[in-house]
């Protein structure tokens, strides 16, 4: 099982599939998931001659569960250490949800010397929580409710999220996949309680405005206009105005879980963007 150890002793698990000499594409997962949530994309791109890499963020999946360091700066620094460990260059970075924030913060802290393009899917930037300067954001009470639900019965909460808004299975006429629900629950339940609890603050309250401004590379935003987790009006439609070279594609009726629900279209859009 491939792992590497960060400077603070945290062991990070990662997958490294496909052609080791091929063009590099990395995937950063959402909360409270792990690299398994990218398996469809990983398989697709590895099968097309790419080198596809995805890691389990600290506190998630098969990586260590440290009590400290569950914050966006450290997430980005861990990923940068993985880039250095594997000596990745000319990389296309892909991030979903919280992972989109991780990609933005990576560039904000470490620049684009190793990165040529980025794709942010249903991503949290620029900032999710409602503030005086961000009146269109989500009230902090919603995220407080996440934390309260975790403390009361994390297992039940981690069933309710995928059964409802994450995949859009709560919409009339939606074709529900019990397998997707169980997979989400399983990924969430093997994650660190402390790590996932701390991460709620990170994906909701981190301001990525300045990070987006520093993304001086082509960036593709993919977002569903029926995203019930990261509403498009408070995220992608604002982020596009901050990116120096941004392109926004809206998926009509698309839910938050675009990589899972709109798999073929997402893969095609990423592939076309990389080749452009």
Per-residue pLDDT reduced to its tens digit, 156-177 = 999 999 999 999 999 999 999 9
Specify the pTM: 0.97
Is 207 a residue of the active site?
no
Q: Which of 97, 192, 204, 235 is catalytic?
A: 97
- Residue 121 pLDDT > 90, yes or no? yes
Confidence of residue 179 (pLDDT cuts 50, 70, 90): very high
Q: Is 226 within 8 Å of 199 (Cβ atoms)? A: no
- Tell me, what's the pLDDT at 171? 97
Is 97 a residue of the active site?
yes
Q: Which of 96, 204, 256, 269 is catalytic?
A: 256
Q: Is 42 within 8 Å of 54 (Cβ atoms)? A: yes
Question: Per-residue pLDDT averaged across 104-116, rounded?
Answer: 98
Question: Per-residue pLDDT averaged across 266-273, rounded?
Answer: 98
- Residue 196 pLDDT > 80, yes or no? yes
Q: Which of 96, 227, 235, 269 is catalytic?
A: 227
- Tell me, what's the pLDDT at 41? 98
pLDDT tens per residue, range 225-244: 999 999 999 999 999 999 99
The phi, psi pair for 192, rounded to 5°, reads -65, 135
- Tell me, what's the pLDDT at 195? 98
Q: What is the secondary structure of the chain as a DSSP string?
A: --EEE-TTS-EEEEEEEE-TTSPEEEEE--TT--GGGGHHHHHHHHHTT-EEEEEPPTTSTTS---SS--SHHHHHHHHHHHHHHHT--SEEEEEETHHHHHHHHHHHHH-STTEEEEEEES---S--B-BTTBTTSB-HHHHHHHHHHHHHHHHHHHHHHIIIIITTTTSTT----HHHHHHHHHHHHHS-HHHHHHHHHHHHH---HHHHHT--S-EEEEEETT-SSS-GGGTHHHHTTT-TTEEEEEETT--S-HHHHSHHHHHHHHHHHHH-
- Residue 276 pLDDT > 70, yes or no? no
Is 133 a residue of the active site?
no
What would the two tokens of residue 216 be? Answer: 């001086």
Question: Per-residue pLDDT averaged across 12-31, rounded?
Answer: 98
Question: Per-residue pLDDT averaged across 24-52, rounded?
Answer: 98
Domain ranges of the chain: 3-275
- Tell me, what's the pLDDT at 133? 86
| CATH fold for the domain made of 3-275 | Rossmann fold (3.40.50)
Maximum C-alpha span of the chain: 49
CA distance 66 to 71: 11
């Amino acid at each position: 099982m491939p792992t590497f150890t960060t400077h603070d002793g945290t062991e990070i698990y990662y997958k490294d599939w496909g052609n080791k000499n091929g063009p590099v594409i990395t995937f950063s997962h959402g909360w409270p998931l792990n690299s398994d949530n990218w398996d469809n994309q990983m398989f697709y791109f590895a099968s097309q001659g790419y080198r596809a890499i995805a890691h389990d963020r600290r506190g998630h999946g098969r990586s260590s569960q440290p009590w400290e360091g569950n914050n966006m700066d450290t997430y980005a620094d861990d990923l940068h250490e993985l880039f250095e460990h594997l000596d990745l260059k000319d990389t296309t970075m892909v991030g979903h949800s919280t992972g989109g924030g991780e990609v933005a913060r990576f560039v904000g802290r470490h620049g684009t010397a190793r990165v040529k393009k980025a794709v942010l899917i249903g991503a949290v930037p620029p900032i999710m929580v409602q503030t005086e300067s961000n009146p269109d954001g989500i009230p902090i009470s919603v995220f407080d409710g996440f934390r309260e639900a975790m403390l009361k019965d994390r297992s039940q909460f981690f069933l309710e999220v995928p059964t409802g808004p994450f995949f859009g299975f709560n919409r009339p006429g939606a074709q529900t996949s019990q397998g997707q629900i169980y997979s989400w629950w399983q990924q969430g339940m093997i994650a660190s309680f402390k790590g996932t609890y701390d991460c709620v603050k990170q994906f909701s309250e981190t301001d990525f405005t300045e990070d987006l401004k520093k993304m001086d590379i082509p960036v593709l935003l993919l977002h569903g206009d029926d995203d019930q987790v990261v509403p498009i009006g408070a995220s992608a439609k604002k982020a596009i105005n901050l990116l120096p070279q941004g392109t926004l594609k809206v998926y009509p009726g698309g839910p938050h879980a675009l990589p899972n629900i709109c798999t073929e279209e997402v893969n095609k859009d990423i592939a076309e963007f990389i080749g452009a």
